[in-house]
Amino acid sequence: MAYVGEEPPGYEPEPTSLPMADPGTLEDLVPDTVLDGARHGGLTLRAASVRGDSARYRGEVRRDALLTARFGVGDRALVLVAVATGARATPEGQRAAAAACRWIGQAVGRSAARLAEDIREGRRADLRAGLQRLTDRSLGRLRAAAADEDHGPGGERASLRCLLLPADPECRTRVFFGVGEGGLHRLRDGDWQDLEPRPVGPAAATLDLGIRTPPSPYEPAPAPPREPFRFRTCVARPGDRLLMSAAGLAEPLGDEPALRAHLARRWAAPEPPGLADFLADVQVRVKGYADDRTAVAVWEA
């Protein structure tokens, strides 16, 4: 398997141990690798989620979850791609990630016609407010479900990152939204551009003056801080490649110029790669990075 850097990673390049199975919770098992793709209007979609080298070695499940969905038909359709990552070192991590994708998918699907119209009409403020509301509700359901099932610390948390892609070839607006770590990059004219938006919300505007106030005995303990909302719209040009990734790929992509250069060369051709070739690109290994790899890429005609 291909790698970049001076030496290969220490883990084996192919899966080793399967995750431990419980006969009563077989629905929690997930395949090592998920691969999907589509073509709508002027865009071609490629999506892959791969269990990391560390999880393969330890026999742990993939904590990343991936959802691809089309709502509507023809040019009025709206494509949603959602990527979620569950908390590390918790048995409920993958379950939380899968639930986050499922619930944001349900929420977006119910509002797809209105969202598609807002995108076509350029109603950016309405989009931001509506998508933040849908995201808050979806992650709120996740927290409530974790509380009901008495999950341990971290079982209620998941990073969630989404792309909305109108199928209308006349609409070139692409919408990103979500919470948590990951990356949003664009390859344009051979150069990588970091499009990761600044967080939106109270957590992004908090100023810590180092003053510590003791908790009041008359008030309940404060809720744990919530991840700030992230939102960005961008207008695609022919030849663009838009890449949304979970942290497992975003971190080496940001830290290792050799990986950026490798992918830029691989994706320089005008035609998008096939599914198998895209999977090979996502799996290019870098020593020191062994987390799950999940990536969604959009080629613009």
CATH of residue 58 = 3.60.40.10
The encoded tokens of residue 195 equal 């499009």
If one counts the domains in the chain, the total is: 1
pLDDT at 10: 86
Share of the chain above pLDDT 70, in %: 87
Cα separation values, 29 from 10, 18, 192, 257, Å: 26, 10, 36, 35
Q: What is the pTM of this model?
A: 0.88
8 A C-beta contact, residue 184 and residue 195? yes
Q: Is residue 256 part of a domain?
A: yes
| 1 domain residue, yes or no | no
State residue 148's pLDDT score. 67
Inside any domain, residue 217: no
The b-or-e profile of 131-168 (16+ CB within 10 A means b, else e) is bbebbeebbebbbebbeeeebeebbbbbbbbbbbbbbb
Cα–Cα separations (whole angstroms), residue 98 to 85, 87, 94, 229, 247: 8, 12, 6, 19, 16
Domain span at residue 140 reads 32-201+227-300
E strands, the chain, where?
3-4, 33-40, 43-50, 64-71, 78-86, 158-166, 173-179, 183-188, 191-194, 229-235, 241-245, 285-286, 293-300
Residue 90 pLDDT: 67
pLDDT (0 to 100) of residue 147: 72
pLDDT of residue 89: 64
User: Is 208 within the bounds of a domain?
Assistant: no
Residue 279 lies in a domain: yes
- Residue 289 has a pLDDT of 95
62 within some domain: yes
> Does residue 14 fall inside a structural domain?
no
The answer as to whether 7 is a domain residue is no
pLDDT computed for residue 214 by the predictor: 46
AA letter at 139: L
> Which segments in the chain show pLDDT lower than 50?
203-224
